[in-house]
Structure 1
Amino acid sequence: MKLTEKEVEILEILEDNCRLSPDYIAKMVDLTESETNTIIKNLEEQRIIVDYTTQVNWRKVDGHEGVKAMIDVKVQPKRGVGFDDIASRIYRFNEVKSVYLMSGAYDLSVIIEGKTMSDVAQFVSDKLSTLDSVLSTTTHFILKKYKHDGTIFDQDDEDKRIVVSP
């Protein structure tokens, strides 16, 4: 779909900070608030804007650390639907946070969350591996998140450079 320059500009602004008010965005792109609201509403209706999210550093919240895993999945695609059918079956599980079609050795990359490593292991053995199209899986546990969707976590603002004096 071809978008106008203003629509693309609004998308870039919202992608960077979705908490900005339509009035503020309107001033940034030199439109009225009404025009800006109309553009945003149209982009939402066309599912170009899919969701508004918040990045949370759960490691800083006691009792909510949880376990995240990235699972590489090799599948046998079905004739006529390719990978879409199996991807759809996988992303419907509550534990699944993301599913990506990948190039390379594995076909799908699945990101899941559980309370414990056992929860993740049980999901893989009881739910994911039992799907008829799934040929194999490789599970990688995410130990620490440094950067996600452009947001740096645990960034230390302290300047650690050595002071050099003449």
Structure 2
Amino acid sequence: MKINKKEQEILEILEKDARLTPADLSKMIGEDEEAVKSMIKRLEKEKVLVHYTALVDWSKVEDSEHVTAMIDVKVTPKRGVGFNETAERIYRFKEVSSVYLMSGAYDLSVTVEGRTMKEVARFVSEKLSVLEEVVSTTTHFQLKKYKHDGKIFEDKQTDNRMVVSP
């Protein structure tokens, strides 16, 4: 799909802050609010603008059980469909939040979310690894999130005291 410069500006702005209103966007790009609404509607219809989301730091929520794992998956591609059919089978599982075709030693990178490490491990052993196209998997549990989608998660406390030395 070919997009114009204003639509590209809208996409770049919304990618940084999806909470902006069409009124805010119209001021930022110097365009009429109705025109902005129309552009957004077109981008949504064509699935260029796919979803609006919030980025949550679950580590700051008390008693939240949230585990993320990145799984490298080696797959035997099927004649005529390559990796697409297997990727589709994998992304349909409710535990899977993303699937990417990768270059390198593994074919697919799968991100899985669960409440516990055991729950994620069970998904890998009972649902993912048993797919006949899956040759092998390597699971990496996320221990700490420092930066995601360009946003830094860690609050650094700066010491503003004056250094005193003899």
TM range (shorter): over 0.9
In structure 1, stretches of 5+ residues that fail to align are none
Mapped to 1, the partners of 2:124 and 2:44 lie a distance apart of: 34
2:9 maps to which residue?
A: 9
Decide whether the 8 Å contact of 2:65 with 2:116 is kept in 1. Answer: no
2:127 equivalent to 1:127: yes
Separation of aligned partners in 1, 2:65 and 2:122: 19
Q: CA deviation at 1:59?
A: 0.7
2:114 matches 1:97: no
For 2:155, the equivalent position in structure 1 comes to 155
Give the TM-score, by structure 2 length. Answer: 0.94
User: Does residue 73 of structure 2 align to residue 77 of structure 1?
Assistant: no
| Alpha-carbon distance, 1:163 to partner | 5.9
- TM-score normalised over the length of structure 1: 0.94
Distance across 2 between alignment mates of 1:153 and 1:100: 24
Matched residue, 1:116:
116
Residues 65-108 of structure 1: CA distance to partner in whole angstroms, max 9, x if unpaired? 32111100000000111100000000000000110111000000
Q: Which runs of 5+ in 2 are unaligned?
A: none
Instruction: Write out per-residue CA displacement over residues 34-73 of structure 1, whole angstroms, 9 at most, x where no aligned residue.
Output: 0000000000000000000000011111121321111000
Q: How many residues matched? A: 164
Query: How far apart are 1:2 and its partner, in Å?
Result: 2.1
Tell me whether 87-96 or 58-67 shows the greater mean CA deviation: 58-67
RMSD: 1.6
> Percent of aligned pairs with the same residue?
59
**Greater alpha carbon shift after TM alignment, 98-107 vs 114-123:** 114-123
Kindly state the Cα deviation for residue 159 of structure 1 after the two structures are TM-superposed.
Answer: 3.3
**Counterpart in 2 of 1:30?**
30
Larger CA deviation: 58-67 vs 145-154: 58-67
Q: Give 1:145's aligned amino acid.
A: K
Partner Cα separation in structure 2 for residue 68 and residue 128 of structure 1 = 15
Q: Which amino acid aligns with 2:104?
A: G
Shift of 1:114: 1.2
8 Å contact 2:146–2:154 — kept in the other structure? yes
Residues 43-62 of structure 1: pairs in structure 2 closer than 5 A:
43-62=43-62
The farther-off stretch of 30-39 and 61-70 is 61-70
Runs of 4 or more, structure 1, over 4 Å off, are: 160-165
Q: Kindly state the Cα deviation for residue 154 of structure 1 after the two structures are TM-superposed.
A: 2.0
Aligned to 2:141: 141
